[in-house]
Amino acid sequence: MTTRRQNTNDERRMFMAMWLTGGFMIAEVIGGLLSGSLALLADAGHMLTDTASLALAWLAARAGRRPADQLRSYGYQRLQIIAAFVNGITFIVIVVWILIEAVQRLMQPIEVLGGMMLVVAVLGLMVNIAAFAILHGGNRANLNLRGALIHVIGDLLGSVAAISAALIILWTGWMPIDPLLSVLVALLILRSAWHVVRHSTHILLEGAPEDVDVQTLREALTDSIPVVHDVHHVHVWSLTPEHPLLTLHLVVAPGADYDAVLRQAKGLLVQRFGIDHTTIQIEQEQCADEQTANSKAC
């Protein structure tokens, strides 16, 4: 499947999951308020965040297909990373709220209607499984889709926690289980949310892709192309996880065929490192940038 078709497929999956999650969120809010369950309200809060996050992810993906223009030579694909970053931060904020509310519930337990809580939680689990199945079939390399998937996983775990809490309340009447399981789910989600924030921040800071070692890349070019004597000014970053970019300078032997060197270098970068968008400057002696700097200093 081509990248364009895959992106369109991912957009459709996010759109379907958005309506499915948003539609049930209202019922879960009502159920949480009527039953007095923090676990249900926490899951409803997750679903509210998910609906907004999926909408943001979907809009960002659609905007990312807009072509480049005079102001944005790379187009709008980076919007996907911004959306993933916002989603991760938002989810961390929601986790903090759940933890604060859980502590308050532990200090002052309230009555929870276990029967109503169980019915709503089971329905919520079914909806979350359906949303997870829709998103899980998409492109795992799409950080925007992964961020949305983490939100849905959080909802799924929240529903499982709510079901467990409801059953324990019905069997034993022990009310603290409701906030305790909410804390457990919040901590599990926090780990995944932090991964998305860290990864998206790395991309926004133009960090090198995690699977590309710059020193290995330099050695591969000098070892594979005999006329290449030096590789410097290497800059590798990602527009999105699926679109790595690279610029570098190659110092070649006098009389080398520039076109042949360029073809070999680009072919190696695609085959060994998966980088197909490269800008390569070929030089014979002193780096052109150093010559320019020296001339300015004189």
124-135 residues labelled b (16+ CB within 10 A) or e (exposed)? bbebbeebbebb
**pLDDT value at position 297?**
44
Please name which of 103, 90, 122, 125 lies closest in space to residue 197, comparing C-alpha atoms.
Answer: 90
Helix (H) or strand (E) holding 281, with range, is strand 277-283
**pLDDT value at position 268?**
95
Judge whether 185 and 161 are in contact, CB under 8 Å. Answer: yes
Segments in 108-174 forming alpha helices (H): 114-136, 143-172
Tokens of 202: 């790395």
Judge whether 20 and 134 are in contact, CB under 8 Å. Answer: yes
Strands 228-240 and 277-283: unpaired
Residue type, 50: D
Q: Which residue ranges in the chain fall short of pLDDT 70?
A: 1-8, 39, 42-43, 45-46, 49, 52-53, 56-57, 59-61, 63-65, 137-144, 147, 151, 286-298
Q: Selecting from 2.40.10.10, 3.90.930.12, 3.30.70.1350, 3.40.440.10, what CATH number does the domain 214-297 have?
A: 3.30.70.1350
φ/ψ bin of 75: left (φ > 0), alpha (ψ from -120 to 50), beta (otherwise): left
**pLDDT value at position 49?**
66
**pLDDT value at position 298?**
39
The C-alpha angle with vertex 154 and arms to 42 and 190, in degrees rounded to 5, equals: 90
Tokens of 292: 């320019």
* Interval 34-61: pLDDT, tens: 777 776 776 676 677 677 667 766 766 6
Judge whether 191 and 167 are in contact, CB under 8 Å. Answer: no
Superfamily of domain 3-204: Cation efflux protein transmembrane domain (1.20.1510.10)
In whole angstroms, give the CA distance from residue 239 to residue 81. 9
Domain residue ranges of the chain, discontinuous segments joined by +? 3-204, 214-297
